[in-house]
Amino acid sequence: MRLILIRHGETEWNAERRLQGHADAPLSERGIAQARRAAAFFAAEPAPGLVVSSDLGRARRTAEILGFPDAVTDPRLREMDLGDWTGRFIAEIEAEDRHAYRDWRLGTHTPPRGETWQAFRGRVGAAIADILARAPGDAVVVTHEGVVRATCDVLVGLAPQSLAPLVPGAVTVFAVNRAVSPAAARLLTFNYVSAPDDLKIRGLDHAPV
């Protein structure tokens, strides 16, 4: 089977380099366009056996645009809880501590009152295991950058330090062999978008969540 993950389209806070975590902002016009372009990828594919979305609005809206309005929602597929960083601008965090944001991206720093990488990885891993166990065929997961990065770590041992930033609307695909225990996975595609402009990151970096 294939496990196909897609990051939601850009939100207004992503465009402002502002962190969301469990908060939500609507998709930007660019984010809606990204989701529409990604829909062409899924339109060319056989219908998946299971579609699951994060329960946050930006993921659910992306799922609708992709053609999956009835996607099952799972709160375990939410982005990492950023605690006191929720709603803050990346530039403000970097001005206070120039290494904190970078180290958080690498999985070695936890925002005040936020979720640790290991706790986050654990809940994402549990959600992915359930999806793999119950999907009758290929599974599609509409979610957030952090969840895709955690899935890469869980399934194929690629830690955050080994991964480039994931752009909004990007597709990541794993081939999963469920005939063995634990299931064996291979990474087939990472950070795929159909339009070169979608690979452009606003500003010096992008708000990853």
H-helix or E-strand containing 203? none
Annotation says 79 is catalytic: yes
How many whole angstroms separate alpha carbon 8 and alpha carbon 6? Answer: 6
How many whole angstroms separate alpha carbon 72 and alpha carbon 49? Answer: 12
Place of tokens 């166990």: 133
Catalytic residue among 8, 10, 145, 206: 8
How many whole angstroms separate alpha carbon 184 and alpha carbon 206? Answer: 32
SS3 (DSSP) at 98: coil
Catalytic residue among 10, 79, 115, 145: 79
Annotation says 96 is catalytic: no
How many whole angstroms separate alpha carbon 140 and alpha carbon 125? Answer: 15
| Active-site residue list | 8, 79
